[in-house]
Amino acid sequence: MIGPLVLGIETSCDETGAGLVRGHELLADAVASSVDEHARFGGVVPEVASRAHLEAMTPSVDRALAQAGVTLADVDAIAVTAGPGLAGALLVGVAAAKAYALTLGKPLYGVNHLAAHVAVDQLEHGPLPAPVIALLVSGGHSSLLLVPDVAGEVISLGSTVDDAAGEAYDKVARVLGLPFPGGPPIDQAARSGDPAAIAFPRGKYHDGSLDFSFAGLKTAVARWVEERAARGEPVPVADVAASFQEAVADVLTRKAVAACRQHGVDHLVIGGGVAANSRLRALAGERCAAAGIRLRVPRPGLCTDNGAMVAALGSELASRGLPGSPLDLPADSSLPVTEVVVR
């Protein structure tokens, strides 16, 4: 069975994504990023992101169709990120998806952004085992999930109580004078630094929970840099970056392995933009190997926000013949992770 051809649309933050998936095969993944437009503000500006999505939507879909060598008439279903995310940005994608679905007379699936980050791993590593633990880390989310069925049941085990990991990266990069977004430049700077140079704190490290906290770490880095500068001493950017990054990766991987052990699960999936971080990948690999856990991490291009991940989840739903969402589905900026698809 070949399976339905699904168009996925993603506009939760600052990437306009359009992907085409059939079964577990990725046919096209077109992404237009507005990150350069936000860089001078040091963070994502919702109104700017929404306008960028509006301008990039049709060209992105057309580019994905051209990459796959198909037409809109060949599409069997439309999937779109309904939440969580920036309200205005989500609204652009949801409105576009409704227009495509109504015009084509095809089913529409309003899906959860976090569940889509889990589902995208199937495009690279095949069907997900049931259950699987998922660690999702990005600019807006740091979550641990138990996933018995990515198309039907996702259970929250823990999340950030303040800053997400990616948000902390952006704020620390600003303190160090590195460009936005902070993840790639900190990762690059850390390669020549000493991760043990500075003993930065690990929030909620020994509290026994599966929640995260990175606000204290971010503040500790800022104060360390400020005190150094106040004494007229140079700031060792590489050492600060490496020590900060080590603290983040240490907490994330420790909690992820703990979640696997607590729930008797031997597969861990890591997704989200921070999953592209080299130290997180390396430390997760070491700790999973030591604990007998099989680690699955998509290639970096599938970790950041994209239409392929939305299409992957939509393909799972459509292939099972599950009912779609109503055409009046809302864009829900706080859509709970337990709601995989909007009914």
- Domain segments of the chain as ranges: 5-120+306-319, 128-300
CATH of domain 5-120+306-319: 3.30.420.40
Backbone CA torsion sign across 191, 290, 198, 161 = positive
Nearest to 292 by CA among 260, 251, 252: 260
- Tokens in use for 78? 């439309």
pLDDT at 40: 82
pLDDT at 217: 97
Residues of the chain with pLDDT under 50: none
208 vs 13, 133, 262, CA distance in Å?
A: 32, 17, 11
Residue 62: how many other CB atoms lie within 10 Å? 13
The third-level CATH classification (topology) of the domain covering 128-300 is Nucleotidyltransferase; domain 5 (3.30.420)
pLDDT at 149: 97
pLDDT at 42: 81
- pLDDT tens digits for range 139-181: 888 999 999 999 999 999 999 999 999 999 999 999 999 999 9
- Beta-bridged to residue 7, according to DSSP, are 20, 78
The number of residues making up the chain comes to: 343
253 vs 127, 269, 295, CA distance in Å?
A: 23, 11, 11
| Dist. CA 10–CA 60, nearest whole Å | 11
Cβ-contact 212, 256 below 8 angstroms: no
- pLDDT tens digits for range 101-146: 999 999 999 999 999 999 999 999 999 999 999 999 998 889 999 9
Preceding omega of 236 cis (within 30 degrees of 0): no
pLDDT at 41: 84
Which residue has tokens 């630094």? 193
Q: What's the one-letter identity of residue 341?
A: V
Domains 5-120+306-319 and 128-300 share a fold: yes
pLDDT at 1: 52
